């Protein structure tokens, strides 16, 4: 096989791969037949990993911008109920296209709105992933606790337990390949599902060998709801249901006390930290430094762009660093390298992957080249990357195959995708809007 070498990077030096796997990093001697890509002065990292997203929410950017989580959700549930699988495919293509352009090679989507029970929506997400070319973790999300039974979502967007379980297994059989398309099992949240669904979902996931995902401890409203309904804090509720475990990662994870932080570290339960979305909704600041200190896997998540209108993972590194320092009132407990680690190695741990997230021989060649022309005067290249302005990746490779080349998607036209998305999104706007 031909060996590909990125030559001349300022950090970490040359990177070589063959047959989709990294073979060398640092100073790499030339060999006959090498395919050389010059990246002089640029910065090379492992591909970024997005551990929590809602791709479909690209259809509803800029809604309910003056609401906290529960009000935001009740505003948007009826709007999301109008989405078609075709809408979701376009939104997913935009979501993954924007992610790829900004260095993301693996993205986890949590999709829990299935209007009319049409689970072809998951095929639509997989189709978009194949078009863009990045790895996709597709969560068969679910809600079975409507307002008539004390839940938050309207009854029109919930499903019954048996339908959810049968659909989840069908989606797994149709789509899961364990590498490029990975199906996960993901009841939405403690305030939108029954304990019966949580228990049955865990049993199904473990029978199929799939990972589990849900929202947890995102807001004080959620905490109050759990205490009122169950007499337990959210983490204790999930722990009693067998959900605090190494095959689980949860989204947000803001409101954990000291004992709960220790429990997450003990069980190696992952946390998808979504700093911009949490800030936009006024939810709070996760205890990232404490969680990582006890060994809990912590990755970064964009969350949906209805609560993080940027839709890119790169800015989350800077935001994670800033919020960690604000929470701890310290400029030393969380460094730029720590933020990059969340976006790469930490994300891989959340998703249960040991073959991505680092630049090391034997790992998959998920590699990003960041333009470094404006960082030539910066003392520390990683600090310059993380703390500097947002940037589009120069090149992005997944398994050694380019999905972004010279700052453009290889397999899609992002402007055309945005135009299609805008046409579809306007259909959902209230009369007289825009």
Mean pLDDT check: name the lowest of 140-154, 200-214, 238-252: 140-154
pLDDT tens for 78-114 read: 999 999 999 999 999 999 999 999 999 999 999 999 9
**Strand, helix or coil at 159?**
coil
Exposed, middle or buried: residue 27 (CB in 10 Å: 0-12, 13-18, 19+)?
exposed
Prior bond of 12 cis (ω within 30°): yes
Report the pLDDT averaged over residues 220-231: 95
Exposed, middle or buried: residue 420 (CB in 10 Å: 0-12, 13-18, 19+)?
middle
Here the tokens at position 27 are 């100073």
Rounded Cα–Cα distance for residues 215 and 144 (Å): 15
Cβ atoms of residues 292 and 337 within 8 Å: no
**Residue among 285, 280, 282, 342 at smallest CA distance from 308:** 280
> What backbone phi and psi angles, to 5 degrees, belong to 300?
-105, 150
pLDDT of residue 432: 64
Residues 6+ apart with CB under 8 A from 417: 90, 93, 94, 97
pTM of the model: 0.97
pLDDT at 222 over 90: yes
Report the pLDDT averaged over residues 129-148: 97
pLDDT of residue 113: 95
What's the chain's average pLDDT? 97
Bridge partners for 48 per DSSP: 104
């Amino acid at each position: 096989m031909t060996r590909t070498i990125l030559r001349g990077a300022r950090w970490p030096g040359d990177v070589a791969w063959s047959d989709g796997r990294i073979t060398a990093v640092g100073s790499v001697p030339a060999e006959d037949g090498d395919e050389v890509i010059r990246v002089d002065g640029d910065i090379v990292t492992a591909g970024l990993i997005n551990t929590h997203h809602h791709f479909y929410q690209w259809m509803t950017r800029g809604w309910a911008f003056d609401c906290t989580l529960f009000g935001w959700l009740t505003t948007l549930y009826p709007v999301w109920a109008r989405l078609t699988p075709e809408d979701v495919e376009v939104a997913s293509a935009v979501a993954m296209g924007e992610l790829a352009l900004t260095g993301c090679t693996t993205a986890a989507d949590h999709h829990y709105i299935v209007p009319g029970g049409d689970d072809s929506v998951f095929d639509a997400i997989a189709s978009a992933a194949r078009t863009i070319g990045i790895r996709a973790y597709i969560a068969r999300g679910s809600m079975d606790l409507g307002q008539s039974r004390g839940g938050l979502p309207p009854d029109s967007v919930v499903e019954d337990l048996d339908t959810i379980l049968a659909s989840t297994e069908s989606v797994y059989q149709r789509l899961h390949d364990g590498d490029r398309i990975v199906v996960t099992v993901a009841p939405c949240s403690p305030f939108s599902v029954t304990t019966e669904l949580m228990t049955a979902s865990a049993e199904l996931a473990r029978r199929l060998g799939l990972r589990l995902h849900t929202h947890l401890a995102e807001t004080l409203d959620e905490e109050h709801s759990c205490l009122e309904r169950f007499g337990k804090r959210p983490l204790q509720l999930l722990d009693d249901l067998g959900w605090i475990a190494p095959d689980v990662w949860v989204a947000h994870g803001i409101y954990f006390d000291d004992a709960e932080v220790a429990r997450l570290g003990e069980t190696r339960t992952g946390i998808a930290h979504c700093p911009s979305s949490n800030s936009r909704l006024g939810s709070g600041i996760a205890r990232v430094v404490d969680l990582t200190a006890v060994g809990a896997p912590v990755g970064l998540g964009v969350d949906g762009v209805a609560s993080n209108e940027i839709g890119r993972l790169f800015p989350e590194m800077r935001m994670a660093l800033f919020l960690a320092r604000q929470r701890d009132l310290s400029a030393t407990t969380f460094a730029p390298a720590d933020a990059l680690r969340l976006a790469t190695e930490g994300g891989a741990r959340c998703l249960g992957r040991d073959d991505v997230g680092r630049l090391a021989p034997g790992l998959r060649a998920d590699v990003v080249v960041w333009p470094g022309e404006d960082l030539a005067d910066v003392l520390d290249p990683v600090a310059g990357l993380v703390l500097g302005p947002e940037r589009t990746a120069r090149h992005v490779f997944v398994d050694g195959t380019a999905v972004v080349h010279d700052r453009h998607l290889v397999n899609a036209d992002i402007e055309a995708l945005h135009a299609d998305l805008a046409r579809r999104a306007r259909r959902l706007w209230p009369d007289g809007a825009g």
